[in-house]
Amino acid sequence: MTDAAAHATTDIRLLLVDDQALVRMGFRMLLEAEPGIRVVGEAANGTDALRLAEDLRPDVVLMDVRMPGLDGIATTRALLERSPQSRVIILTTFDLDEYAFGGLRSGASGFLVKDTRPEELLAAVRAVAGGEAAISGRVTRRMLELFGDRLPATDPPVHDALAALTPREREILTAIGEGLSNGEIAERFFVAESTVKTHVGRVLQKLDLRDRVQAVIFVYERGLVG
């Protein structure tokens, strides 16, 4: 196998979905300048995104949340039903706050704001392609502000799965729901970041959660933060 062929087999195949051509152009320029990432297609609406996803089988889809016809949430849900091997990162702005929780529940593996720094976006693409989740702490904290008054006012409901967690794992789960990164959790509890990663992995396994995004949803739905 030639070096070029070997490189191609390891590239992250990425599909851009945004109704604004200039936005797609900007993302393409950023992403294609990064080794190991290859933009395999672009779509200006949800219908085209579904067709291209079936044809191209991208590893990661960068999905705008507001588009004509199918919005990013409905498109994400349908895309993952048809192409479950793909992972979706939803991109939005804070003036679309009402989409935040719906975006996560649609099955997206990441949720970032459009003014995220380039290095954070690239890191998110790599993390999601590797089977992890990428949710901006800013988005999670903003969700707390938006949905906090909708969380249960009484004590958190008892859930059998929570009983399997150790006290420290329960603390880690709550910290995830607060939007803290592994580094921030490590600082809070005065432990190594590698230790936090181990705890997070155990929490996800014990609660039968796919990734960090599902952990955030779990926390919100059970009123464990607020």
Average pLDDT over residues 39-54: 95
Angle between helices 167-177 and 193-206 (to 10 degrees): 90
DSSP summary character for residue 10: H
Classified as helix, coil or strand, 219 is helix
Average pLDDT over residues 123-128: 89
Domain boundaries, the chain: 3-145, 151-221
Q: What percent of the chain has pLDDT over 90?
A: 40
Over 70: is that where the pLDDT of 112 sits?
yes
pTM reported for the whole predicted model: 0.70
Strand partners, 62: 16, 89
Strand partners, 105: none
Decide which of 159 and 180 is more confident.
180
CA-nearest of 10, 27, 105 to 64 is: 27
Over 70: is that where the pLDDT of 141 sits?
no
Instruction: Reply yes or no on domain 151-221 having CATH 1.10.10.60.
Output: no
Q: What architecture is the 3-145 domain classified under in CATH?
A: 3-Layer(aba) Sandwich (3.40)
User: Per DSSP, which regions of the chain are E strands?
Assistant: 12-17, 37-43, 60-64, 87-92, 110-113, 134-135
Over 50: is that where the pLDDT of 15 sits?
yes
The H or E element containing residue 90 is: strand 87-92
Average pLDDT, the chain: 81
Confidence class for position 7, pLDDT limits 50, 70, 90: very low
CA-nearest of 153, 147, 58, 151 to 109 is: 58
d(CA 74, CA 120): 25
Structure tokens, 115: 């003014």
The per-residue pLDDT for 6 is: 41
Does residue 61 contact residue 15 with C-beta atoms inside 8 Å? yes
Task: Work out whether the CA dihedral 135, 58, 119, 169 comes out positive or negative.
Answer: positive
Q: Quick one: how many helices (H) and strands (E) in the chain?
A: 11, 6
